[in-house]
Amino acid sequence: MDDSLSETPAAGEDPAAGPPAASEDLAAGPAPAAVPAPVPAPIPVPASGLPAGPHPLAGHGGPSPLRIPVHVRAGFLIPAALILLAIIIYPAVDSVWLSLHNHDGSKWVGLSNYKTLFTDQATLKALKNNVIWVVCAPTIACALGLMFALLSEKIRWSTAFKAIIFMPMAISFLAAGVIFELVYQQDPHQGVANAVAVGVHDTFAPSSKYPGAHPRPDHAKPASGGSFTSVDTYTAGSIANVPLVGIQAAKLPGKAAQAAAPAAAPAADQIEGTVWLDIIYGGGGKPNQLDPGKKGMPGISVKAIDTATGKSAGSASAHNDGTFTIKGLKPGVKYALEIPGSNFAEPYRGIQWLGPSLVTPAIIASYLWIWAGFAMVLIAAGLASIPRELQEAARVDGANERQIFWRITVPLLAPVLLVVLVTQIINVLKVFDLVYVIAPGSTLPDANVLAVHMWSVSFGGAQDQGLGSAIGVFLYVLVLPAMYFNIRRLRNEKKEGR
């Protein structure tokens, strides 16, 4: 494996200074054909804002022109120019024209498509989601990238770590979509995200063993929270039978034993009884009787409620044969038995990742999985280019690590962070594949973004060229500041270089 991920430029060497280093190597090369293989390719962008090394054009006075006949010049330029004209320039202009027309381009409608863009509910939703994307994704990607870059500086096998984080960059959004569709599967037995969610949930709040079980309606009435309260009342010293139905005998835990009546008569301050499943697998037996074949329901908790005050006076949990003993009751008081709803709660099924409310954050998470590595590599290159002496000097002057980080490292990294942010914003504005692939049809409207909406409006059924073009043009306008940013950076590079 190549080790470019672990490569840290020598002190003082700008990570972006591929070209100068390369040109030296090239100049030293004996013959044009014998290029030293590991010449670093130029990285014109990433750290260009850092204290830059000499521009490629520096050193030999820049590429001053050679005198060349017109047809030769044309031969080099024209193929590319023609394609650029046909595929980008003319279409971009034509889109503006189309956006001022109706759905099939037959009628001039002025700015009405742009008005639709800001009034139509579906489009507004897409716009709103784009705002969420632009606010969250680039900043989090940047923060993760910075964190990972700092981490990888401090560990020994940083190459492997960086390769793992960077690897998703090679994967298509479609494959990433399939990958995360699997991760986000609703069933905790399929989706790893919900498997973890359920695992964590059940660790802190164990799920019930008897979902769906309940007393017969003539025995108890349902109360709040899925609880049941007995119709009959009991006094201390008596026996209470609690037959339950509603689940299959096969679902009982293995330790459930033949249901039995309490072995001894209850003491004066106790209520004793049995909780059992009042069904025999395969039929037989009589309701409300402890027939052979009926099993106790171990673990079911039963509460004694003082009917006068409505307060709980004691509780107990059933043994393997279903028997329970509630102790510490007062003689003469009438108690109702309550079976709390927690006995019957449906098991926790995990989070609906791709449901309407979480679909956008879930897709943003998959985006971060892909792009954090990109931010990390750029920022790591920037970190490596910060002169160690500055940090050392600050340390000697008594600055603590946090001060060094915020007052020296971050300001010096600012240009790189800006490049990462701008790049990510452009990316995020145009995000299409991930949303289109991951969002299920039912929640696609909730996850919609402009690029996806543009596709659905233009090609996905509506065939509205006017609105589609208006969205395209609008996206174009949104990236214009980035275009300005790039051009200005190019200008600066040139100025520094010459």
Partner 1 sequence: MSVTRPVAVPGRVPLGTRVAKRLTGGALYIIVLVVGVIWLIPTLGLFISSFRKASDITGSGWWTVFTHPAQLTFKDYTDIFSNKGIIQSLWNTVLITVPATALVVFLGALAAYAFAWIDFRGRDWLFVVVVGLMVVPIQVALLPVASLYGKLHIFGTILGVVMFHVGFGLPFAIYLLRNFFAAIPRELLEATRMEGGSEWTIFRKVIVPLGLPAIASLAIFQFLWVWNDLLVALVFSNAKTQPLTVALQSNMRQFGSNIDILAPGAFLSLSVPLIVFFAFQRYFVQGLMAGSVKG
The alpha carbon of 393 is separated from its chain's Cα centroid by a whole number of angstroms, namely 41
- Binder of partner 1 out of 11, 12, 51, 60 (CB under 8 A): 60
| 179 interacts with partner 1 by CB under 8 A | yes
Q: Say how many C-beta atoms besides its own lie within 10 A of residue 496's C-beta.
A: 15
- Binder of partner 1 out of 12, 108, 190, 222 (CB under 8 A): 190
Question: What mask, x for binding partner 1 by CB under 8 A, covers residues 336 to 375?
Answer: ---------------------------------x----x-
d(CA 306, CA 236): 11
Q: How far is the CB of 68 from partner 1 (least distance, A)?
A: 5
Largest CA distance in the chain: 116
Q: How far is the CB of 138 from partner 1 (least distance, A)?
A: 12
Q: How far is the CB of 407 from partner 1 (least distance, A)?
A: 21
Burial of residue 492 (number of CB atoms within 10 Å: 0-12, 13-18, 19+): middle
Smaller CB separation from partner 1, 155 or 393: 155
List the one residue out of 313, 244, 246 whose CA is nearest residue 274. 244
| 145 interacts with partner 1 by CB under 8 A | no
Q: How far is the CB of 344 from partner 1 (least distance, A)?
A: 26
Burial of residue 137 (number of CB atoms within 10 Å: 0-12, 13-18, 19+): buried
Q: How far is the CB of 471 from partner 1 (least distance, A)?
A: 7
- Binder of partner 1 out of 50, 378, 404, 408 (CB under 8 A): 378
Contact predicate 454/113, CB 8 Å: no
| 8 interacts with partner 1 by CB under 8 A | no
The first and second tokens of residue 466, run together, are 């006017």
| 49 interacts with partner 1 by CB under 8 A | no
Contact predicate 493/48, CB 8 Å: yes
* Site stretch for partner 1 (CB under 8 A), options 1-9, 131-139, 254-262, 319-327: 1-9
Smaller CB separation from partner 1, 155 or 231: 155
List the one residue out of 287, 225, 295, 221 whose CA is nearest residue 258. 295
- Binder of partner 1 out of 11, 68, 205, 231 (CB under 8 A): 68
| 381 interacts with partner 1 by CB under 8 A | yes
Q: How far is the CB of 164 from partner 1 (least distance, A)?
A: 5
Using CB under 8 A, which residues numbered 82 to 121 contact partner 1? 83-84, 86-92, 94-95, 98
- Binder of partner 1 out of 11, 12, 51, 73 (CB under 8 A): 73
Smaller CB separation from partner 1, 118 or 157: 157
Sheet holding 323-326, edge to edge: 214-215, 239-245, 271-277, 323-326
Beta bridge partners of 314: 304
- Binder of partner 1 out of 107, 154, 286, 402 (CB under 8 A): 154
CB contact set of 72 (below 8 Å; sequence gap of 6+): none
| 169 interacts with partner 1 by CB under 8 A | yes
Using CB under 8 A, which residues numbered 423 to 452 contact partner 1? 423, 426-427, 429-430, 432-433, 436-437, 440-441, 450-451
| 486 interacts with partner 1 by CB under 8 A | yes
Q: Say how many C-beta atoms besides its own lie within 10 A of residue 468's C-beta.
A: 24
Classify the phi-psi angles of 223: left when phi > 0, otherwise alpha if psi is within -120 to 50, otherwise beta: beta
- Binder of partner 1 out of 123, 323, 456, 465 (CB under 8 A): 465
The first and second tokens of residue 240, run together, are 């209470």
Q: How far is the CB of 200 from partner 1 (least distance, A)?
A: 14
Cα dist from 456 to 306, 367, 452, 497, whole Å:
63, 21, 6, 46
